[in-house]
Structure 1
Amino acid sequence: MKIRNPPTGEKNELNMTSMIDIVFLLLIFFVMTFKIVELEGDFSVKMPLAGTSNSTIDPTELPLKLRLRSDDTGTLVGMELNDIQMGSGPEAFDKLRGTIIGQIGSSAPVPEEAGEGPEVEIDTDYNLRYEYVIRAITAVSGYKDGDQVVKLIEKIKFAKPRR
């Protein structure tokens, strides 16, 4: 088959203007929607003041250590707060709340700065059922007195679960 019109010396060129426009529009879109997040791990560290060796330590400044032990089925078998045995039944969580109230007071002062106030570190066995952890958090964080909520401890951290 013969082509009647032989090709001329003209070259077909792509119009790059529209592609460049699209690239700039994408660039502007990503620059405008970019959000700078806070640095992770930026903690406010409260260093102790230099003092004499006979200075007293307030036990509520140290983290209270709550240990929850379980059996193979995940049932709570023991709970202790700073080596004080709480037991394992439903009354253990009431005893835990009473011990916390006894150590920090029923109306803990509201911290002015972040990082102040009592702190609880919860140390659990690996297979402990989640419901016991939630009940422990509820017991140490506060209670409801009529229509008023009484806050006890607001800072709660978790130790690495034990296997």
Structure 2
Amino acid sequence: MKIRNRESGQKNELNMTSMIDIVFLLLIFFVMTFKIVEMEGDFSVKMPLAGSASAVVDPTDLPLKLRLRSDDSGSLAGMALNDIEMGSGVDAFDKLRGNVIGLLGSSAPVEEEAGEGPEIEIDTDYNLRYEYVIRAITAVSGFKDGDQVVKLIEKIKFAKPRR
């Protein structure tokens, strides 16, 4: 036996108030519990413009040039900072950080106006793996000394990759 609704013109409406309340509670919960990682994305990167014939060099910047060479498999074959060879081993990035500290001074640079301060240009081979570039950026941009962050070089730019 079929049961038919004789009042077909009447519609059942859903009460959306409680669902909206729950959505807003979840939104507030996720916003309040979000934590920003301190060291993530703590460097500014300048990429070269495509087709740029000549680059403008600021004579007030330190002439720091980091050259990363790779072998055929994309591994790090050698690294040099201003023609000072760092090698390619595990401790090469520690040597790099030590040389940057030696060139800039033993303490962190004083807060300067925007656009000033030391700058480094990273020149890589075309097939070098990104992990080595990121480790080099991490080594020259700064380090943690206990709970304090010591910034070294904030202005990082890339040369066109070599093939």
Q: Give the TM-score, by structure 2 length.
A: 0.62
Matched residue of 1:96: which SS?
A: helix
Q: Which residue of 1 aligns with 2:74?
A: 74
Q: Which residue of 1 aligns with 2:152?
A: 152
- Structure 1 residue 89, shift from structure 2 partner: 0.8
Matched, 1:98 2:98: yes
How many angstroms apart in 2 are the aligned matches of 1:139 and 1:124?
16
Structure 2, unpaired ranges of 5+: 1-48, 50-55
Cα-to-partner distance string for 1:109-156 (whole Å, 9 max, x where unaligned): 234322211100000000000000000000000011111110000000
Question: Which has the higher Rg, Structure 1 or Structure 2?
Answer: 1
How many angstroms apart in 1 are the aligned matches of 2:122 and 2:135?
12
Q: Which residue of 2 aligns with 1:122?
A: 122
How many angstroms apart in 1 are the aligned matches of 2:95 and 2:160?
25
Matched residue of 2:116: which SS?
A: coil
How many angstroms apart in 2 are the aligned matches of 1:113 and 1:135?
27
Q: Which amino acid aligns with 1:125?
A: D
Matched, 1:63 2:57: no
How many angstroms apart in 1 are the aligned matches of 2:83 and 2:151?
23
Q: Which residue of 1 aligns with 2:107?
A: 107
Cα-to-partner distance string for 1:48-103 (whole Å, 9 max, x where unaligned): 7xxxxxxxxx8xx3330000000111000000000000000110000000000000
Q: Give the TM-score, by structure 1 length.
A: 0.62
- Structure 1 residue 108, shift from structure 2 partner: 3.3
Q: Which residue of 2 aligns with 1:162?
A: 162
Give the RMSD, CA atoms, in angstroms.
2.2
Stretch moving more, 116-125 or 101-110: 101-110
Identity score, percent? 83
Structure 1, unpaired ranges of 5+: 1-40, 49-57
Q: Which amino acid aligns with 1:70?
A: S
